[in-house]
A = this chain, B = another copy of it.
Amino acid sequence: MRQSELFTRARREAPTDEVAKNAKLLIRAGFIHKEMAGVYSYLPLGLRVIRKLENLIRRAMLALPAQEVLLPALQSKESWLATGRWDKMTDLYKLRDESGREFALGPTHEEVVTPLVKNFLSSYQDLPCLPAGRPFAIFQFQTKFRMEPRVKSGLLRTREFLMKDLYSFHRDAAGLKLFYDEVINGYRAIFKTLGLESSTYLTLAGGGTFAEFSHEFQTLTAAGEDRILICAACHLAVNEEIKDKRPTCPGCAGELSPPQTSIETANIFDLGTNFSRAFNLTYRDENGARQPVLMACYGFGVSRLLGALAEIMADDRGLVWPPPVAPFTIHLLPLGPAAGRPAAAARELYEQLQKLGLETLWDDRPVSAGEKFAEADLIGIPYRVVISDRTLAVSPKVELTERQNSGEKRLVTVNELCAFLG
């Protein structure tokens, strides 16, 4: 894409109405726009990252396997009354239609997915009997709503947010446990792809109203709102909220670190039969008897992850994106006048990179080298390719810099560049 065609542009100054580093940087670089407290728009650069995060997570879900659906945001009050959460969940947005009938605006989808599945489940043959048999799980990417009183953390806590939620259905605890562990492995692989594996901990946490415990993935960042106690030996953690109940490592019973600040990037709840009992979701066992279905749910905050990556990966010059989810792979910066030799070489290289399928943002704007460099630093595309009279002087070469690493500059030929990135 030509940068001159991008309607957003970097701001020189950070917004004054944000305190969170992720929001300041993402707004300055033109990735997001603040509509009001806790509500953001995703602009072209930000949406590109969101879509890549979604695709990364989608591949992991399909591999489980799980099937993708899209459930509604408008949810029936009756379903929320059936689970007792209409009154209990204080951060639930409620609205009314013209006849005064009330609806919930979904912060989560157990109240939708359980009655939905009831339509399609009849006998034990429909239920997963892992490892043999057919796993049965449903996921979606959806916009969710939550009445948040505290919204000072940018994308880390918002009133409207993008989430992946997965729901699995089982006939017994053993099958549930197998699937639960598969999802943990899938989540781990996602964090690894993002370069967050060393700072992200599978964390034992409170189970809320559903169970004694749940699992969270907590990623270390000073901007987080949680505190976790870490076991250095197992790379496991315990949420501070249950440290009295679980003062040692859940893996090796070893000692835990003092509390460290982190953000919950994903969570897993064993829902037991809480929801299946509320909606009478049963299966018929081998003897024809009705049994309640076991359920678990698995969340992954997509827009929160965008914020967490900005918060954690950025340096003092701006954003730094892991290559698999960067808005573009290459930032192409020709220096000098539009009629100059670097500009012509950049045009040629851009076409070559397009043919190779390498996503390139080409800064074709008539602005100074300093402005191009500063904006490129702020946007944080992984590979910067500079073409100037100087790089073309020796032989037709370009200058390659990796945003993520030391920032060391290398002069390479176009063929070397394509071979390195292709």
In whole angstroms, what is the CA distance A99 to B90 when docked? 12
Cβ of A74 to closest chain B Cβ, rounded Å: 5
Is A251 close to B, CB under 8 A? no
Task: Check: A136 CB closer than 8 A to any chain B CB.
Answer: yes
The closest CB in chain B to the CB of A99 belongs to: B149
**Chain B residues whose C-beta falls within 8 Å of the C-beta of A42 in the assembled complex:** 69-70
Tell me the residues in window 31-45 of chain A with beta carbons closer than 8 Å to chain B beta carbons: 33, 35-36, 39-44
Q: Is A94 part of the binding interface, using a Cβ–Cβ cutoff of 8 Å?
A: yes
Contact yes or no, A35 B68, CB < 8 A? no
Contact status A67-B7, CB under 8 Å: yes
Most chain-B Cβ atoms within 10 A of its Cβ — which of A47, A95, A138?
A95
Q: Is A112 touching B41 in the complex (CB atoms < 8 A)?
A: yes
A97 CB-CB contact with B under 8 Å: yes
Residues of chain B contacted by A159 (CB below 8 angstroms):
74, 97
CB of B35 within 8 A of CB of A112, answer yes
| A191 CB–B CB distance under 8 Å | no
| B74:A35 contact, CB within 8 angstroms | yes
A7 touches B120 (CB 8 A): yes
Kindly list chain B residues whose C-beta atoms are within 8 Å of the C-beta of A149: 98-99
Would you call A41 and B7 a contact (CB within 8 A)? no
Interface contacts beyond A42-B70, A74-B159, A98-B147: sample of 15 additional A-B pairs, CB < 8 Å, sorted by A: A5-B65, A5-B134, A7-B67, A7-B126, A7-B136, A35-B72, A35-B76, A39-B72, A41-B116, A44-B67, A73-B143, A93-B97, A94-B95, A98-B149, A143-B143
In angstroms, Cα B296 to Cα A10, docked, is 26
| A contact patch SS | mixed
| Nearest CB of B to A377, in Å | 20
> How far in angstroms is the closest Cβ of chain B from A360?
16
Taking the full assembly, how many copies of this chain does it contain? 2
Query: Is A35 within 8 A of B75, CB to CB?
Result: yes
The smallest C-beta distance from A318 to any residue of chain B, in angstroms, reads 19
Q: Are B98 and A95 in contact (CB under 8 A)?
A: no
- Across the interface, do B74 and A160 meet the contact criterion of CB distance under 8 Å? yes
Residue of B nearest to A119 (CB): B33
A50 close to chain B: CB less than 8 A:
yes
> Which of A35, A40, A50, A98: most chain B Cβ within 10 A?
A35
Known: A5-B134, A75-B35, A136-B7. A70 touches B94 (CB 8 A): no
A328 contacts partner chain B, Cβ-Cβ < 8 Å: no
Q: A9 interface residue, CB < 8 Å from B?
A: yes
Docked CA distance A93–B73 (Å): 13
Of all chain B residues, which has the CB nearest A91?
A: B98
Please, how many angstroms separate the alpha-carbon atoms of A92 and B394 in the complex? 65
Contact sample, A vs B, 30 pairs, CB 8 Å cutoff: A5-B65, A5-B134, A7-B117, A7-B120, A7-B126, A7-B138, A9-B120, A33-B119, A35-B72, A36-B76, A41-B69, A41-B72, A41-B116, A43-B69, A44-B68, A44-B69, A47-B70, A50-B70, A72-B160, A73-B73, A73-B145, A73-B160, A74-B160, A90-B98, A93-B97, A95-B95, A97-B147, A98-B147, A105-B105, A143-B143
What CA separation (Å) do A6 and B120 show in the bound complex? 10
CA distance A39 to B47 in the complex (A): 26
**Chain B residues with CB under 8 A of A75:** 35
Point out which of A91, A117, A119 has the most chain B C-beta atoms below 10 A from its C-beta: A119
Would B136 and A40 count as touching, CB distance under 8 A?
Answer: no
Query: Restricting to A44-76, which residues have a CB under 8 Å from any CB of B?
Result: 44, 47, 50, 65, 67-76
Verify B95–A40 contact, CB threshold 8 A.
no
The 3 closest A-B pairs by CB, nearest first: A42-B70, A95-B95, A44-B67
From residue A235, how far is it (CB to closest CB) to chain B in Å?
Answer: 34
Q: How far is the CA of A5 from the CA of B105 in the complex (A)?
A: 31
Query: Is there a chain B Cβ closer than 8 Å to A4's Cβ?
Result: yes
A143 cross-chain contacts in B, Cβ below 8 A: 73, 143
Give Cα A268 to B368, complex, Å: 40
What's the nearest-Cβ distance from chain B to residue A85, in Å? 17
Chain B minimum-CB-distance residue to A116: B33
Q: Which residues of B contact A117 (CB under 8 A)?
A: 7
